[in-house]
Amino acid sequence: MSMIVRVKQRQIAQLMSKGKRLDGRGLNDYREIKVEMGVIEKAEGSARVLLGKTEVMVGVKVQVGEPFSDTPNEGVLTVNAELVPLASPSFEPGPPGENAIELARVVDRGLREAKTINIEKLCLEPGKKVIVVFIDVYVLNHDGNLIDASAIAALAALVNTKMPKYEVEDGQVKVKSSYTPLPVQNYPIAVTFAKINDKLAVDPWLEEEQVMDARLTIAFEKDGKICAIQKGGTGYFTTEQISEVAKMAKEKASEIRKLVVKE
Amino acid sequence: MPKAEEKLIDKEGLRIDGRKTNELRATKIGVGVLGNADGSAYIEQGKNKILAGVYGPHEVHPKHLALPDRSLLRCRYHMAPFSVEERKSPAPSRREHEISKVIRESLEPAIFLEYYPRTSIDLFIEVLQADGGTRCAGVTAASLALADAGIPMRDLIVACASGKIEGQLAVDLSDAEDKKGEADVPVALMPNLNAITLLQMDGQLTLEEFEKAIELSLEGCKQLYALQKEALKSKYATVKEEVEE
Amino acid sequence: MPTFYERRQIVTPGDLLAEGNYAAGENTFKENDKLYATRVGLIEYDERRVSVVALKAFYLPNIGDTVIGKVTDVTISGWLVDISAPYPALLRASDVMERSYSPQKDELSSIFDVGDLMMAKIVSYDRTRDPLLSIREPGLGKITDGQIIKVTPTKIPRIIGRKGSMIGMIKQETDCHIILGQNGIALIRGKSPEGERLAVMAIYKIESESHTSGLTDRVTELLKREKEKEKEGETKNA
């Protein structure tokens, strides 16, 4: 099994140095992306994204809770990711390892720094009661580029989220019967490039990830500002490569945003 | 702690601690500071106090993690409970896990891991006092600890963060500046190849601002690189001076 | 074809040592005709090759090296020995026993037990296996007395000195029997505990000042001075 993989890995690297990819894509082409929203009725919001064969589901649960002590007027946004064992032979059951943690934190960063949700609008009673938004990323099949797929799914799930109307009456939080969408005000998109044999290729699939030197993820909010960056892997980038990736990623982010937000 | 109304940058362009936007905090580095570790280093950068220690290369425990063709680099970045304003629980947080990972990935390209198959190199970074930019200072110290352990490297790795405060780009943000600022960009560099081995960003920056921020971080890196080299040589240089009079 | 440093200058990892047609010696690596240091040390070069004598390095086994090690475990077929290297060494029972033996752990621990010291030779080692030891040659085997100290292995040649001059001088001045393992472990067996203490002091001094000049004289002076102090101390107490 691993012998076949190694031969293929060499093939991938060799093709890449000629600017070609095994699946015929261009260096700046994403795999096919499918976004489905509202797939889990019991969740306040949900989405399922297929990026090539990578499959990620995100569920959003909304609850009333306490604010953090240093931000008494803000709601809480929290992102968790699970690499469930059925998604890949390399995922083992147990608490989130460093890969799951990194995935969650990078998706979180993109959403948070873009101020995707107006968290001040989530305050019910300052210092006492706020709305807590739980974003749970569930990777169902790992075929590469979990970050981008998870970020798209998380954004789509938030856009899809309808939460009950909360009102504070006599110090008690009452749940009204109508629903209201989450106050989403920005649409960050993450774009990941892999570096293989000094070539930069967007949206690496699993076997490209196994060969790559390093990856660079850049997230853009709707007005074209960068809101998160994460370099991963044990290789490196030069400043020229970083600039190249940033420029291309900005273009790609705008294209992909259209799949989630019908402007 | 600055009061809510206090500005981060005053009319003369000076920051709360009197620095200009392109000035690093006062930095002191020592190498070979721990008795038991195979290699160690200590860095003070502003109010940051960070210790790095290395054990290895040695046998991997547990054995099944051993790699047949190279050494396994393991890294633990950890903050002491008393290192921050509000006591931090000693249990490793998700942030510490992520930082451990990015630090490890920033150092790996420099180490000749392939020289020592079936071994592990265990790196520990302890933040004794934190004031912003600890992952960068941690990388800078860790690199020295590795060199102090006699582990062969292609180059030293050095790191420095820059960011945006009150609309201006500035290098080496303190914690207060990071919390109130608009962006933070930590960068680690392997100078000989101009290779960036750690790069993260949070906040909001235009493409142009981001590129300038990287430049600022790299300039800071180059200054710290010179301090690293001095620190490695100083033990031997002092002995030589004392003894050859 | 310039080098950028003078001989015996201290260099650090990543320092560009030379450019051009030099061979990459110890503790250096070459990329695109540029030679860099990989460890902290003193640069040495001639017209053909640049190398770095490391000021701090750990021991990596070499076939044929004589090393001093400590037994850490007794197994069914032999002993695991700590030779102060990234890899544990193995001494097979078959190397020690003349006849074929019945694999009873007790028997083996009566020959070498955990904590015992030995002088051994490395007979095989490669990237896929831990080093294998042998004590067959004369002079090898269990070390029964004396004390051991650990120094950076790259300093062993300095401790020995040119044609053994340094180590010979120390042995004479301290009246000690000294064996240096190539793995940086030294065994010191003296006629008196004072002698051993002086020998240890001398060796550590060489280790910390190995990159300086005039060392031999300073070590000789130190030993003479210390011995004077002792004599005075004795006459006072007498």
Tell me the backbone φ, ψ of residue C63, rounded to 5 degrees. -65, 130
Stretch C189-207: mean pLDDT: 91
Range A25-260 has CATH code 3.30.230.70:
yes
B155/C13 Cβ within 8 A: yes
* Inter-chain CB pairs, B–C, below 8 Å: 88
For chain C, what is the domain count? 3
Q: Which of C101, C116, C143 represents a domain boundary (last residue)?
A: C143
Closest residue in C to B114 (Cα–Cα)? C127
Q: What is the pLDDT of residues C28-38, one digit of tens each?
A: 999 989 999 99
The whole model's pTM is what? 0.92
User: Among B109, B201, B207, whose Cβ lies nearest the Cβ of A235?
Assistant: B109
CATH of residue C188's domain is 3.30.1370.10
What percentage of chain A exceeds 90 in pLDDT?
Answer: 78
Tokens of C59: 């021991």
- A 10 A CB-CB count for C70 gives 18
pLDDT of residue A1: 35
CATH of residue C79's domain is 2.40.50.140
Q: Is residue C4 part of a domain?
A: no
Q: Is residue B242 part of a domain?
A: no
- Shortest distance between the Cα of B116 and any Cα of chain C, in A, equals 8
Stretch A144-168: mean pLDDT: 94
How far, CA to CA in Å, does C21 sit from each of A13, A209, B99, C25, C148? Answer: 31, 38, 42, 12, 43
Q: Write out the E strands in A38-87.
A: 45-51, 54-65, 76-83
Q: Which of C113, C143, C173 represents a domain boundary (last residue)?
A: C143
- Shortest distance between the Cα of C14 and any Cα of chain B, in A, equals 4
Q: Is residue C237 part of a domain?
A: no
Domain interval for residue B153: 27-230
Q: Is residue C177 part of a domain?
A: yes
Which residues neighbour B228 within 8 Å (Cβ) at sequence distance 6 or greater? B29, B140, B143, B144, B156, B158, C12
Alpha-carbon distance A87 to A91, whole Å?
A: 7
Closest residue in A to B99 (Cα–Cα)? A102
Q: Which residues of C touch B154 (CB under 8 A)?
A: 13-14, 29, 36, 38
Q: Is residue B22 part of a domain?
A: no
B112/C56 Cβ within 8 A: no
Q: Is residue B237 part of a domain?
A: no
Q: Is residue C3 part of a domain?
A: no
Domain interval for residue C115: 66-143
Q: Is residue C114 part of a domain?
A: yes
User: Among B150, B155, B190, whose Cβ lies nearest the Cβ of C54?
Assistant: B150
Burial C109-138 (b: 16+ CB within 10 A, else e): eebbeeebbbbbbbbebeeeebbbbebeee
User: In terms of Cα–Cα distance, which of B150, B158, B161, B142 is closest to B203?
Assistant: B161
Say yes or no: C93 and C24 in one domain.
no
End-to-end Cα distance, chain B: 49
Q: Is residue B122 part of a domain?
A: yes
Task: Label the pairing between strands B119-129 and B72-79.
Answer: parallel
CATH of residue C19's domain is 2.40.50.100
Q: Is residue C26 part of a domain?
A: yes
For chain B, what is the domain count? 1
Q: What is the pLDDT of residues B106-160, one digit of tens each?
A: 999 999 999 999 999 999 999 999 999 999 999 999 999 999 999 999 999 999 9
Say yes or no: C120 and C135 in one domain.
yes
DSSP A127: T
pLDDT of residue C11: 95
Q: Is residue C29 part of a domain?
A: yes
Q: Is residue B96 part of a domain?
A: yes
Closest residue in B to C53 (Cα–Cα)? B150
pLDDT of residue C188: 93
Say yes or no: C213 and C171 in one domain.
yes
Q: What is the pLDDT of residues C76-110, one digit of tens each?
A: 889 999 999 999 999 998 888 866 666 665 688 88
User: In terms of Cα–Cα distance, which of C172, C169, C173, C167 is closest to C186?
Assistant: C167
B185/A229 Cβ within 8 A: yes
CATH of residue B126's domain is 3.30.230.70
Q: Write down the domain spans for chain A.
A: 25-260
- Tokens 């998160």 -> residue: A228
Tokens of A142: 């790992």
- The residue among B112, B204, B212, B218 with the most chain A CBs within 10 A of its CB, best to mutate, is B204
Question: pLDDT band at B35, cuts 50/70/90?
Answer: confident
- Shortest distance between the Cα of C191 and any Cα of chain B, in A, equals 31
User: Among B197, B203, B207, whose Cβ lies nearest the Cβ of A246?
Assistant: B207
Alpha-carbon distance C57 to C52, whole Å?
A: 11
- Shortest distance between the Cα of B59 and any Cα of chain C, in A, equals 6
Tell me the backbone φ, ψ of residue A220, rounded to 5 degrees. -120, 140
Q: Does the pLDDT at position A30 exceed 80?
A: yes
pLDDT of residue B245: 62
Q: Which residues of C touch B191 (CB under 8 A)?
A: 14
pLDDT of residue B241: 80
Helices assigned H by DSSP within chain B: 94-107, 134-148, 175-180, 207-243
Q: Is residue B98 part of a domain?
A: yes
User: In terms of Cα–Cα distance, which of C63, C94, C101 is closest to C79?
Assistant: C94
User: In terms of Cα–Cα distance, which of A101, A121, A249, A102 is closest to A188?
Assistant: A249
Q: Which residues of B touch A232 (CB under 8 A)?
A: 102, 105
| Residue B204 touches partner A, C-beta closer than 8 Å | yes
